[in-house]
Amino acid sequence: MQSFMNFLVEIIREPAIFLGLIALVGLLLLKKDFSSVVSGTTKTIIGVVILTQGTNILTGSIAPLTEGFNLMYDIPESEVAPALGSDTVLSEYGTEIGLAMLIAFAINLIVARFTPIKHVFLTGHMLFWFPFIFVAVGVENSLSNTQIILFAAIMTAIYIIVAPALLRPFVRKVTGSDDFIIGHPTTILSLISGWVGMLFGTKGKSSEDIKFPKSLEFLREISITSSITMFFVYFIVSLIIGFDSAATAFGADQSIFIFSIMQGILFGAGLTILLLGVRMMLAEIIPAFQGISQKWIPNAVPALDAPILFPFAPNAVLIGFIVSMITSVATIFITGSLGVFGFVIVPLTITCFFEIGTAAIIGNGTGGLKGAIAGSATAGVVMVLLVGISVPVLSGTVSDWIVIFGGNDFSLWSFIGDTILKILP
């Protein structure tokens, strides 16, 4: 039984296999012929693999910037010293995490089948990481193993049911359809960006309507624009902190000029690959999911990973990343100077790109270009504050993880979970 459960957890944690199985089931329910089933399933898996590889390239291309910003603003290493650490929690509480994940997903299917909340959370790796966070909260509050499983399962179920539903109308505004919604820890930041976009944005001019003179029309290609932008980000940071310091911070084994060029090109290549994977995967998973929607869960839609939204406003993604890096680093510097939190927060480049890049698309959907800028600027500030409130909650377990991947729903919901446990008798 334990081996079977571990096998199920392994399948769900692997996005390509998990979504490939969803496509397979959907195509079989639609009674497609053998060739169509094999083709649709395989293309879904390949599309997800391409998307994942693009994501990995993007993450690798922006990760060195964290240390560069640390030097620029004289931000020391994090002073948080967790008692356990994320690796220990994963190894010691893997069974609890897996059981909570499977129970939460089962609850999601039941709710989608019998209530008006019609979506199925299919972002497999996030189905794993949310129980991981809630298990850590349970450990922090000295729950028994059984209590940890129940708490993590219930909180994960509430999250994967509520969060995508809250974001659904904003996603619909961006895509113009209800074919899919977003199941990703960007929810709180995207909601804030959407609300700010409605307040301060203007619906007339979209981030995708930016005009370029004829001689600069090549900038309309997001792969070129993103490459050039990231080159300048790396090179300007290097100019400020000094080329020798930059080489050490970035781990560069070549001249900073060449390193900056290659990081820019790497970023553009990663984004191009990611967008190709998104298009390929969507072309297969959306039609295939109709089989599940028609036969098992009427009117249900899939809740998918945030990069699925990137092709709808790629300029906004870049705007969100750059603007949020500026506002978040400024917030880190101010809060650190004032000693607001009592510990050091480092720049969260990954959250700025994926979560706030998505938030900028939502802000663009509600308020155009100004909405994307204002929304992502606000989200950048909120991101730092969310890290600030979540690190103390997880200081004895996975604070090492949250200072890198937090500032989003992981941070907010760990705080919510901890507050609930503190209130309960």
What share of the chain has pLDDT > 90, as a percent? 68
Residue 7, C-beta contacts closer than 8 angstroms, at least 6 positions apart = none
User: What are the two backbone dihedrals, phi and then psi, of residue 136, each rounded to the nearest 5 degrees?
Assistant: -60, -40
Q: What is the DSSP string of 80-142?
A: ---SS-HHHHHHHSHHHHHHHHHHHHHHHHHHHHHSS--EEE--HHHHHHHHHHHHHHHHHTT
Chain mean pLDDT for the chain: 90
CA distance 422 to 420: 5
Say how far residue 224 (Cα) sits from the centre of its chain.
23
- CB contact set of 282 (below 8 Å; sequence gap of 6+): 47, 180, 308
The arithmetic mean of pLDDT across residues 31-43, rounded, is 95
**Residues present in the chain in total:** 425
Read off the pLDDT of each residue in 43-69 and give the average, rounded to a whole number: 89
- pLDDT for 221 beyond 90: no
Tell me the average pLDDT across 67-75.
Answer: 73
Query: Which pLDDT band, with edges at 50, 70 and 90, does 382 fall under?
Result: very high
Q: How confident is the model at residue 35 (pLDDT cuts 50, 70, 90)?
A: very high
The model's pLDDT over 86-95, given as tens digits with 9 standing for 90+, comes to 878 888 998 8
- Has residue 301 got a pLDDT over 70? yes
Mean pLDDT in residue range 311-316? 93
Element at 151 (helix H, strand E)? helix 145-175
- 1 — pLDDT class (breaks 50, 70, 90): low
Mean pLDDT along residues 77-96: 73
Nearest one of 128, 135, 55 to 93, comparing CA atoms:
135
Token look-up 């939460």 returns 104
Cα dihedral 5, 10, 12, 17 sign: negative
Residue-wise pLDDT for 353-376, tens only, equals 999 999 999 999 999 999 999 999
Question: Are the C-beta atoms of 142 and 167 separated by less than 8 Å?
Answer: no
Per the model's pLDDT, the better-predicted residue between 211 and 52 turns out to be 52
CB burial of residue 172 (10 Å; 0-12, 13-18, 19+): middle
Return the DSSP state at 425. Answer: -
The model's pLDDT over 125-135, given as tens digits with 9 standing for 90+, comes to: 899 999 999 99
pLDDT band, very low/low/confident/very high, at 341 (cuts 50, 70, 90) = confident
Residue 109 scores a pLDDT above 60: yes
Closest CA to 321 of 75, 59, 54: 59
Q: What is the dihedral of CA 29, 32, 36, 40, to 10 degrees?
A: -20
The Cα–Cα gap between 375 and 68 comes to: 25
**Tokens in use for 319?**
């705007």
HEC string of 373-414 equals HHHHHHHHHHHHHHHHHHCHHHCCCCHHHHHHHCCCHHHHHH
- For position 8, what pLDDT does the model report? 79
As a whole-number percent, the residues of the chain with pLDDT over 70 amount to 96
Task: Give the pLDDT band (50/70/90) at residue 424.
Answer: confident
Instruction: For residue 81, name the pLDDT band (cuts at 50, 70, 90).
Output: very low
pLDDT at 76: 58
